[in-house]
Amino acid sequence: MLPIVPVPQRRLDDYREAAGPDAVERLRKAAAPLTGAKVLHVNSTAFGGGVAELLFAQVPLMNDLGIETVWQVIEGAEDFFTVTKFAHNGLQGAEVPWTPEMEAIYLDRCRSNAQGVAEGFDYMIIHDPQPAGILGALEEQGRRTGKWIWRCHIDLSAPHVPVLNFFSRQVAGYDGAVFTMEEFAPPSLRGPRLFVIPPSIDPLSLKNVYIDHETVYEVLTRYGVDRSRPILTQVSRFDPWKDPLGVIDAYRLARKEVPGLQLLLIGSMAHDDPEGWHYLEVTEAYRQGDPDIFLLSNLHEVGNLEVNAFQRASAVVVQKSLREGFGLVVSEAMWKEVPVVGGDVGGIRLQIEDGVTGFLVTSVEACAERVVQILGDPELRSKMGRAGRERVAERFLTLRELQDYVGMLSAL
Ligand code: UDP
């Protein structure tokens, strides 16, 4: 059996305050016909990255809705995760090598993972490319049952074609495919019925729940960050698409205008991301020993509480991605009323209304300019902060996503 991820308890009724009592009732009503249904989520890591973050909230809440929901993670050795990282990069548009040997490594591992998938479920929701081939492997073994849904969190709008073609074949047999934005769905994808469901953040998780100033200060002090000087933060895996080097460049430009500015780069090391270790070193070298750039990760015990505190302590949050499926970190900061300067790409565009809830930028220079602008205008900062929180409350909280999921399961 593949490992089952233990999740914390969550109760829908606790969300009345954040989402409104109507939202809870609406969701219960919509989910009533699904009572007793069994849903299995499968992804590639229980930690580090947006999908794990989403499932920690959704799996317990679906159970509270009366839908029996279990989350399994696939297993893979380094060669498999190296191939899937190439696949991820290729699907986002990089011209990666893609060979029959790589396909063989991928398919071979999907076959062995297929052996360990729990049986007896009505709906299987398979996240991202890593486990997508499991359905094909089960079909080869004559063991397909239930409805299969591929939940793709990646922007597939400008892919490297050989990689896209391979994965289109892997998912052609699915009953449904879910994308964050309509434009992410490749026109060539034939077979599954398409759904558009943007992700969401959990307002009650330790990462997003309200914490007081003392707790925030305690965290800053623990990591040697000076609370009296402004803080710029990006929270992201160490990944070239998140452009941490571009963030350092933007920080260096902004610091010319705002002396004393500090930069926090917070990144977690996910076990399905072998590239992360290398890119952490690259970023560390680029820091050139600047004592006002803090490179922190889960290796320094930066967990949800610490991320929460760092986001709250920030004068501005940046998410300077060059491609982005969604970018939960954008909503996380907006929910805390911190304006975000984000790359004008993918799912960041869904969240940031340029000039209203933050700024969208396409260059290092523009990023630095917008950061300086917000830092110099406290009124703009608080106005954007409030608008950001409102936008997240309306569109990007857990219950809205659950409602969409329930709709999708019912439709299938
Ligand atoms: N995250 C974290 N610690 C880190 C880096 C990231 O807890 O050091 C979390 C972050 O708060 C967010 C998720 O990991 O909840 C990243 O999701 P996002 O959608 O922004 O990016 P992805 O990693 O899925 O591309």
| 343-373 tens-digit pLDDT | 999 999 999 999 999 999 999 999 999 999 9
pLDDT of residue 19: 86
- Same domain? For 195 and 257 the reply is no
pLDDT of residue 143: 94
Q: For residues 5 and 57, what is the distance between their CA atoms, to the nearest angstrom?
A: 12
- Same domain? For 260 and 370 the reply is yes
The DSSP line for 67-90 is -EEEEEE----HHHHHHHHHHHHH
Name the average pLDDT for the chain.
96
- Same domain? For 222 and 96 the reply is no
pLDDT tens digits, one per residue of 18-72: 888 899 999 999 999 999 999 999 999 998 789 999 999 999 999 999 999 999 9
Task: Confirm whether 257 is domain-assigned.
Answer: yes
pLDDT class of 212 with cuts at 50, 70, 90: very high
How far does residue 74's CA lie from ligand 1's centre (Å)?
A: 20
CATH number for the domain that contains residue 366 = 3.40.50.2000
- Same domain? For 170 and 32 the reply is yes
Ligand 1: residues within 6 Å at CB? 49-50, 53, 207, 235-237, 266-268, 297-298, 302, 307, 326-329, 332
Name the residue of 181, 296, 328, 352 to mutate for ligand 1: max ligand atoms within 8 A of Cβ: 328
pLDDT of residue 269: 79
pLDDT of residue 308: 98
Name the residue of 307, 320, 338 to mutate for ligand 1: max ligand atoms within 8 A of Cβ: 307
Report the helix count and the strand count for the chain, using DSSP H and E.
16, 12
- Same domain? For 238 and 352 the reply is yes
- Same domain? For 191 and 221 the reply is no
Q: What is the pTM of this model?
A: 0.96
- Same domain? For 368 and 220 the reply is yes
Tokens, residue 189? 């994808």
Contact 121, 38 (CB under 8 A): yes
SS3 27: helix
Q: What residues contact 260, with CB distance under 8 A and at least 6 apart?
A: 229, 230, 292
pLDDT tens digits, one per residue of 141-160: 999 999 999 999 999 999 99
- Same domain? For 219 and 355 the reply is yes
pLDDT tens digits, one per residue of 306-354: 999 999 999 999 999 999 999 999 999 999 999 999 999 999 999 999 9
Task: Confirm whether 69 is domain-assigned.
Answer: yes
Atom of ligand 1 lying closest to residue 266 CA: 8
Q: Which residue's CA lies nearest to atom 11 of ligand 1?
A: 329
- Same domain? For 281 and 387 the reply is yes
pLDDT of residue 270: 72
- Same domain? For 283 and 382 the reply is yes
Count of domains for the chain: 2
- Same domain? For 255 and 329 the reply is yes
Q: Which of 183, 179, 209 is nearest to 192 (CA)?
A: 179
Which domain, by its residues, includes 184?
12-200+397-411
How far does residue 330's CA lie from ligand 1's centre (Å)?
A: 10
Contact 41, 73 (CB under 8 A): no
How far does residue 186's CA lie from ligand 1's centre (Å)?
A: 25
Q: For residues 356 and 354, what is the distance between their CA atoms, to the nearest angstrom?
A: 6
